[in-house]
Amino acid sequence: MFVSAGDSAPSFKGFTLVLPAVSVGNVGQLAVDLIISTLNMPKVGHFHTDCLIPMVGNGPYSSLEQLSTNAEVYSHSDLKLAVLQIRSPVLQNKVKSFRKLLVSWIKSSGFSRTVLLSSSHAYQRDDQQLKGLAVVLWSCCVSSSWCCFWSDRRCGYLLSPALQDVGDTLRELGWAELEKVSAFPGINDSEKRLYIPGGGVTKGLYTDCCAEDVPLAVVLLFCSEGDNVPDAFTLTNHLNDWLHLLEKSPQGATPWRVPSSWRLLFGSGIPPLLF
């Protein structure tokens, strides 16, 4: 359930919603952090749900004495952009309930499109996915994707029948339609399926949104666990190519602002008293 931070609930009608999946390397969550921090988006509410592991912490984007919880909503009215930051994993026995909650809120809020930022294990790619850059996209009702510095086979998209006209725009950007993988490799290659190992709720939420006719685009990055900050910058840079959230510099770079909380991303360092 969405709980407003103000006296009255904000209107999201016609807004674009961006949210992360808790997936490999936390790339989607890091990318959302960059968007919120750079655009200085104010918090307009939070999600009250028992589907996520409870957590509370310091304010991640400023030095103000404020607390953050496991699911908070931020908004930028000028850009008609809303961001849902999810900071803790979904409980294993609550995955379906959480997806149902999200879909219900998206539909009732009147978002014009929803973008799910996700990631998947790089080592699980098939032969076709190994032939290009590590970014792909699934879409059910609204679609766009990003490709890295070259347009090739690792950048792709899927469109629902309701949005086939978007395909021309995507092809102009150099993106190719993403192929599904064989459900039974070497046995029956005619049956295909979506395969997103390490993607968390990505596949399930995509399926739910298709069934509910919810405009959803899933932008997914193949990566490995480790220092995934560069992956987050890559994801936000190319998401920006589609949504135009931020003006690029004359040199072509996008001036993303790193949140202050990232200083402790890998802990506080080795205590000097140990030596």
CB 159 within 8 A of CB 167: yes
Virtual CA dihedral for 218, 172, 35, 2, nearest 10 degrees?
Answer: -40
Cα–Cα nearest to 46, from 81, 80, 10: 10
> Predicted confidence band at 65 (pLDDT cuts at 50, 70, 90)?
low
d(CA 22, CA 53): 12
d(CA 200, CA 53): 14
The conformation of residue 90, written as its DSSP 8-state character, comes to B
d(CA 130, CA 118): 18
> Predicted confidence band at 149 (pLDDT cuts at 50, 70, 90)?
very low
List, in sequence order, the alpha helices (H) in 141-200.
167-172
CB 142 within 8 A of CB 217: yes
pLDDT tens digit sequence for 69-95: 999 999 999 999 999 999 999 999 999
Task: Considering only residues 261 and 183, tell me which one the structure prediction assigns the higher pLDDT.
Answer: 261
The pLDDT value given to residue 263: 86
Q: Is 273 a residue whose pLDDT tops 60? A: yes
pLDDT tens digit sequence for 206-253: 889 888 988 888 888 888 899 999 899 988 887 888 888 998 887 777
Q: Is 146 a residue whose pLDDT tops 60? A: no
Structure-block tokens of residue 214: 């919810």
Q: Is 108 a residue whose pLDDT tops 90? A: yes
pLDDT tens digit sequence for 183-193: 777 777 777 78
> Predicted confidence band at 21 (pLDDT cuts at 50, 70, 90)?
very high
